[in-house]
Amino acid sequence: MRRLFVVIATIVVGAVWWRRRRLRAHRAAAPADVHFMYAMHNAFRRDLTRLERTVVGTNSLPPGWVVFREELEFHHRAEDDDLWPELRARTNDANDLSVIDSMIDEHAQVAPALDAVARALDRRSDLESAFDALATLVRTHLDHEEQLALPLIEHQLSDADWHDYLRTQRRKRGRKGAQFLCWVLDDATTGDATTVLREVPPPGRFVYRYFLKPRYDARHLWPSEGDNAAQLAEQLQS
């Protein structure tokens, strides 16, 4: 029996090793698959829509604002620190370098817009206009990144390079990785959810589904979509 167990364990370990080796070889030869980035962008757009719905008529923002800001700031910092420098090292093309510079410049514009919303929220004054300015900047930046920067990533990085970047960000997130996973999967489309969960090993998916997601949902970061402005204002002020 013990010998049989050893044989089975050896076969399982060998199969896992062979699968990972083939996956690494495939990723090294394939261009970067940036669908994970699209899933993150769609999560930002989702939150902007939710925030717009609550700021109008309430002069308040729900707790989801804090998570949105944390995730957006981390996302931009990750690109500025790890992604754009890697791309810059891969190309001497003036157009490519201009795209990278524009991404950094747009990040620099979003940061003070986030601060402006935070100040308006504290004052309970001009919040709607401050948020409108932020939403316009973020949506424009996401569109530009998808039109210009993501094709550049696909052209310059292999899928192995791209996954190195994703692993670096997972390491930097640390315990905040649980929040990110729940945030990006919240109300995600089937395609986006499949893309994200493909990067999570089966035990992690189990933990997400039965432990992380229920806890995240219990935080009630967003008012329900059926609430009207008066109800939202009452909820957010309570």
- What does the alpha-carbon distance between residue 173 and residue 167 come to, in Å, rounded to a whole number? 10
Rounded to two decimals, the pTM is: 0.84
Q: How far apart are CA 66 and CA 4, in angstroms?
A: 54
Residue 232 is predicted with a pLDDT of 47
Kindly list the domain boundaries of the chain, sorted by start residue: 33-237
Could you tell me which residues come within 8 angstroms of residue 133 by beta carbon, excluding any fewer than 6 positions away?
113, 116
| Of residues 216, 220, 218, 195, the one with CA closest to residue 207 | 216
Q: How many CB atoms lie within 10 A of CB 10?
A: 10
Q: What share of the chain is helix, strand, coil (3-state, %, to 5)?
A: 80, 0, 15
For 171, the token pair is: 């390491």
Please give the pLDDT value at position 2: 59
What are the b/e assignments for 40-77, b being 16+ CB within 10 Å? bbbbbebbbebbebbbeebbbbbebbebbbebbeebbe
Which residue has tokens 């402006």?
116
Q: What is the pLDDT along the chain (238 residues), one digit of tens a residue?
A: 556 454 454 554 444 334 445 545 545 558 999 999 999 999 999 999 999 999 987 888 999 999 999 999 999 999 999 999 999 999 999 999 999 999 999 999 999 999 999 999 998 889 999 999 999 999 999 999 999 999 999 999 999 999 999 999 999 999 999 999 999 999 999 999 999 999 999 999 999 999 999 999 999 999 876 654 445 445 444 4
For 31, 75, 123, 156, 190, the CA distances from 166, given in Å and listed in that order, are: 15, 11, 38, 16, 21
